[in-house]
């Protein structure tokens, strides 16, 4: 080897070695990366459970089989052992694969998107029989509601297994309580996963990946048959591995509810029509709001956005406080889209043209009451809240006590962003130490068609439901909404939002919290 060639190689190595922040070790980092060869199982397989949507409620968490024992060899026959059954399945080799890489890979404010599933034709829960085995589910809620019990019963009927709930006493200290229980010897087969627990639930080693147990056959099919949302799976991935399993309609889509009577009386453009025309943006929302408050000086157009709500707002601008580039997760305070989103929040909340009410009214009950009283013309909540708001409208004079005057539309996108925002993203993971990873897979599969209350209520009009489902099925969603948690705590999303909404300069605020955001990231990625 000559000197010039050796020197060139040395220079390349020097560029590669010093990787900053959180470098992921496995999984493709580019959406164009081709997948490796995978083995495909012959045959058809679909879940048989049927369910119908119910009203808004707390998460209930079910799980489904992970498809352990699915043949992936060179060909011939593979013996698969399932509790109570032993089957022999023929396999064939194929080079046709589906590259399942999230639509949000390598975009601003996004840290997931590196999962590649094997191509498959048989669902992982096909013919699973647990032989009466008992499994434990961990979630924040401590009681088993009738709705939750329906999911438990469906799991038992379909897979011959029993789910027992271990409630952790709420979600305020969810990961801390989970850590204490596990340290005390508790083993959870299924763990409810929600956005504020990301990625701490993985970095603390509470869960195991399911990438090797599921295939493309397990992805969302439809409301009746269920399946897992590819967007959610990608959004909650970690170091190239899939953990999160949740149906498309388990997700809480960000929505704007509005008083149609107020809009008509003030000759304001109708949000539903703007959405249908592709003109529904935050810029248009602000324009309409300023027109309204100018004509109604004692009224407000909207409520103040709390930190958790603003997480969904960031998503709709295709940004966030953290991002991943070339496999490295780091703070994202220099991002122009983030600055743009925060500047929009400030225009809504501060200055002569502000359209938002005070910063204090942040709980759902206060927001619904303000909306029903006519103090605000719009309210931003989950699409699943339609039923609750409809009940208030029935007795509200400002709506003429007519449900027809309750308008609902998916929350706007920011400028040219392709994404819609989620108030929250929910799914289930397999707990470390579980005796059978398939328990989480099967329970999640049941919940994928049983629990749709976050997406819509059972009284949501068909036209609204169709719009919601269209957006959720398109997969142009980004989660988690403004959250990223480690041993250093959570991202200071609420503090950033409050400072900006109180009039502090956007650049100054981002500079103030830059180091704190990076510390949270580094603690998660160590």
The yes-or-no verdict on residue 77 having pLDDT over 70 is no
Classified as helix, coil or strand, 250 is helix
Query: What pLDDT score does 359 carry?
Result: 57
Read off the pLDDT of residues 21-42 as tens digits, 9 standing for 90 and up: 565 444 333 333 322 222 222 2
For residue 493, is it within any domain? yes
For residue 338, is it within any domain? yes
Which of residues 437, 452, 467 is at a domain's end? 452
Point out which residues pair with 92 in neighbouring strands. Answer: 40
Residues 356 and 260 in one domain: yes
For residue 491, is it within any domain? yes
Read off the pLDDT of residues 487-524 as tens digits, 9 standing for 90 and up: 999 899 989 999 999 999 999 999 999 999 999 999 99
Point out which residues pair with 118 in neighbouring strands. Answer: 215
Average pLDDT for the chain: 81
pLDDT mean over 326-344: 93
Residues 401 and 442 in one domain: no
For the record, the structure tokens of 71 come out as 């043949």
Question: Residues near 282 by Cβ (< 8 Å), separated by ≥ 6?
Answer: 313, 316, 317, 344, 412, 413, 414, 415
In this prediction the pTM is 0.79
Please, which pLDDT band fits residue 56 given cuts at 50, 70 and 90? very low
| CA 404 – CA 259 distance, rounded (Å) | 9
The yes-or-no verdict on residue 477 having pLDDT over 60 is yes
Residues 369 and 347 in one domain: yes
For residue 282, is it within any domain? yes
Query: What pLDDT score does 424 carry?
Result: 82
Residues 271 and 377 in one domain: yes
For residue 473, is it within any domain? no
Read off the pLDDT of residues 232-269 as tens digits, 9 standing for 90 and up: 999 899 999 999 999 999 999 999 999 999 999 999 99
Which of residues 405, 434, 452 is at a domain's end? 452
| CA 76 – CA 84 distance, rounded (Å) | 24
Rounded to 5°, the CA angle 197-133-181 comes to 35
The yes-or-no verdict on residue 145 having pLDDT over 50 is yes
For residue 24, is it within any domain? no
The total number of structural domains in the chain stands at 2
More confident residue, 406 or 56: 406
Helix (H) or strand (E) holding 331, with range, is strand 328-331
| CA 279 – CA 271 distance, rounded (Å) | 9
Residues 219 and 262 in one domain: no
Residues 290 and 314 in one domain: yes
The yes-or-no verdict on residue 60 having pLDDT over 70 is no
Please, which pLDDT band fits residue 93 given cuts at 50, 70 and 90? very low
The yes-or-no verdict on residue 44 having pLDDT over 60 is no
Domain with 187 in it: 37-251+425-452
Residues 346 and 441 in one domain: no
Read off the pLDDT of residues 282-301 as tens digits, 9 standing for 90 and up: 999 999 999 999 999 889 99
For residue 205, is it within any domain? yes
Query: What pLDDT score does 510 carry?
Result: 98
CATH classification of the domain holding 117: 3.40.190.10
Read off the pLDDT of residues 433-471 as tens digits, 9 standing for 90 and up: 999 999 999 999 999 999 999 999 999 999 999 999 999
For residue 480, is it within any domain? no
Residues 303 and 438 in one domain: no
The yes-or-no verdict on residue 157 having pLDDT over 70 is yes
Which of residues 452, 468, 499 is at a domain's end? 452
Query: What pLDDT score does 22 carry?
Result: 64
Query: What pLDDT score does 360 carry?
Result: 58
More confident residue, 10 or 40: 10
Residues 303 and 431 in one domain: no
Instruction: Give the CA distances from residue 488 to residues 64, 178, 195, 522, in Å, rounded to whole numbers and listed in that order.
Output: 33, 17, 17, 9
Average the pLDDT over each of 271-275, 330-334, 417-421 and give the range with the smallest value. Answer: 417-421
Instruction: Give the CA distances from residue 246 to residues 169, 242, 243, 427, in Å, rounded to whole numbers and listed in that order.
Output: 22, 12, 10, 4
Residues 178 and 303 in one domain: no
Please, which pLDDT band fits residue 480 given cuts at 50, 70 and 90? low
Read off the pLDDT of residues 105-138 as tens digits, 9 standing for 90 and up: 445 666 878 899 999 999 999 999 999 999 999 9
Residues 227 and 96 in one domain: yes
Query: What pLDDT score does 318 carry?
Result: 87
Read off the pLDDT of residues 171-193 as tens digits, 9 standing for 90 and up: 888 999 999 999 999 999 999 99
The yes-or-no verdict on residue 416 having pLDDT over 90 is no
Read off the pLDDT of residues 353-399 as tens digits, 9 standing for 90 and up: 999 987 556 677 888 999 999 999 999 999 999 999 999 999 999 99
Residues 334 and 400 in one domain: yes
């Amino acid at each position: 080897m000559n000197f010039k060639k050796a020197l060139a190689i040395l220079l390349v190595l020097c560029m590669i070695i010093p990787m900053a922040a959180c470098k992921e070790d496995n999984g493709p980092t580019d959406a164009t990366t081709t997948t490796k060869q995978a083995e495909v199982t012959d045959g058809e397989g679909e879940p048989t459970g049927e369910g119908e949507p119910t009203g808004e409620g707390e998460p209930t968490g079910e799980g489904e089989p992970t498809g352990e024992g699915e043949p992936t060899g060179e060909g011939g026959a593979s013996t698969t052992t399932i509790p109570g059954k032993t089957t022999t399945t023929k396999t064939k080799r194929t080079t046709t694969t589906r590259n399942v890489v999230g639509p949000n890979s390598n975009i601003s404010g996004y840290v997931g998107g590196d999962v590649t599933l094997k191509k498959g034709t048989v669902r992982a829960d096909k013919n699973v029989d647990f032989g009466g085995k008992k499994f434990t589910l961990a979630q924040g809620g401590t009681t088993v509601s009738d709705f939750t019990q329906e999911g438990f019963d469906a799991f038992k009927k379909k897979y011959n297994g029993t789910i027992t709930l271990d409630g952790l006493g709420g979600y305020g200290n969810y990961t801390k309580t989970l850590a204490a229980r596990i340290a005390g010897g508790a083993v959870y087969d299924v763990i409810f996963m929600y956005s504020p627990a990301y990625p701490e639930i993985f970095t603390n080693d509470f869960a195991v990946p399911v990438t090797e147990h599921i295939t493309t056959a397990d992805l969302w099919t439809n409301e009746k048959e269920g399946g897992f949302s590819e967007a959610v799976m990608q959004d909650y991935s970690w170091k190239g591995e899939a953990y999160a399993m949740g149906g498309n309609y388990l997700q809480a889509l960000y929505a704007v509810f509005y008083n149609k009577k107020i809009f008509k009386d003030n000759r304001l453009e109708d949000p539903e029509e703007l959405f249908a025309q592709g003109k529904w943006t935050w810029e248009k929302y602000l324009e309409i709001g300023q027109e309204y408050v100018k004509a109604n000086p004692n009224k407000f157009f909207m409520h103040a956005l709390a930190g958790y709500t603003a997480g969904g707002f960031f998503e709709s601008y295709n940004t966030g406080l953290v991002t991943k580039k070339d496999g490295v997760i780091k703070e994202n305070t220099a991002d122009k889209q983030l600055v743009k989103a925060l500047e929009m929040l400030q225009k809504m909340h501060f200055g002569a043209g502000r359209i938002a009410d005070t910063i204090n009214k942040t709980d759902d009950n206060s927001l619904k009451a303000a909306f029903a009283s006519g103090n605000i013309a719009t309210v931003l909540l989950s699409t699943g809240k339609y039923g609750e708001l409809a009940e208030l409208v029935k007795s509200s004079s400002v709506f003429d006590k007519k449900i027809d005057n309750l308008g609902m539309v998916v929350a706007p996108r920011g400028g040219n962003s392709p994404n819609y925002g989620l108030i929250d993203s929910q799914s289930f993971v397999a707990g470390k130490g579980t005796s059978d990873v398939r328990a989480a897979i099967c329970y999640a599969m049941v919940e994928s068609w049983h629990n749709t209350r976050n997406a819509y209520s059972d009284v949501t009009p068909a036209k609204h439901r169709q719009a919601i489902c269209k957006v959720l099925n398109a997969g142009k969603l980004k989660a988690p909404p403004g959250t990223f948690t480690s041993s250093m705590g959570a991202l200071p999303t609420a503090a950033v939002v409050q400072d900006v909404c109180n009039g502090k300069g956007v650049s100054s605020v981002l500079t103030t919290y830059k180091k704190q955001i990076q510390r949270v990231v580094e603690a998660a990625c160590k």
